[in-house]
Amino acid sequence: MSRYIKFIFISIIFIVLQTTVANIISIRGISPDFLLIWIVLIAIRYGQIESTLFGFAIGLLYDLATGGVIGLSSLSKSVSGFMAGYFFNENKTEITLSTYRFLLIVLLTSLIHNLFYYLIYLQGSEINTFRSIVMIGGITALYTTTISLLPVFIFMRKYSFIR
């Protein structure tokens, strides 16, 4: 139970970070998705069910807090939490978190997240969906992956005794 309270508290901090710090470091409107990195972290450490449920809850809270379409982030983030959960392996958590594997998981999850997000978000608009997915979604995924180097370095130091 205390673990979930901790998750909720950290999730709120990440939402505040997403609405403040992410804007400061945005490049031409492209910002990293801190929430997604947090969801992947949950997936790698605790498994698919936790990451799917928290993906949904974080997405919903983010939609409510930022004036977005309610249900859009909750859908795309629960799907990405589910996808990231496939990489959960209790015996390899430390290795996954402290190596390039984590970056690849973030990249893949982010690409899937943006694919879902734009496919639904741009429904009924005249904006080029393919271009948005490839250009904005792809670049956002790359930026998010770059930022996820930070937790990798932190875990590298933390788990250095293992290798």
Partner 1 sequence: MQRILTLLIEFKEYFILTLLVLFSIILLTLNDNPQLKAIRSYTVATIGIIQNTLAMVPNIFELQRENEVLRKLNVTLLDEVSRLREAKLENTRLRELLGLKEKIKYKFVAADVIGKTLHLQRNTITLNVGRNNGVNVDMPVVSEQGIAGRIVAVSSNYSIAQLLLNKDFRTSVKIQRSRVDGILGWDGSDRLMIKNVSKKQDVKVGDAAITSEYSKIFPPDIKVGVVISVDENPVTLFKDILIEPSVDFTRLEQVFVITSTVDTQRVNLESKFMERKK
Least distance from C-beta 64 to partner 1, angstroms? 4
Q: Which CB sits closer to partner 1, 74 or 145?
A: 74
C-alpha span between 41 and 18 (Å, rounded)? 16
Q: Using an 8 Å Cβ cutoff, are 156 and 98 in contact?
A: yes
Least distance from C-beta 149 to partner 1, angstroms? 19
Least distance from C-beta 128 to partner 1, angstroms? 6
Least distance from C-beta 80 to partner 1, angstroms? 11
Q: Which CB sits closer to partner 1, 73 or 98?
A: 73
C-alpha span between 90 and 70 (Å, rounded)? 34
Q: Where are the alpha helices (DSSP H) in the chain?
A: 2-24, 34-46, 48-66, 72-85, 93-97, 100-121, 129-131, 138-147, 149-158
Q: Which CB sits closer to partner 1, 123 or 163?
A: 123
Q: Give me the phi and psi of 147, to 5 degrees please.
A: -65, -30
Residue that the structure tokens 């910002």 belong to = 31
Q: Which residues of the shown chain bind partner 1 in the complex (CB under 8 A)?
A: 12, 15-16, 18-20, 22-23, 26, 28-31, 48-49, 52-53, 56, 59-61, 64-72, 74-75, 78-79, 82, 85, 117-118, 120-122, 125-128, 131-132, 135-136, 140
Q: Which CB sits closer to partner 1, 73 or 96?
A: 73
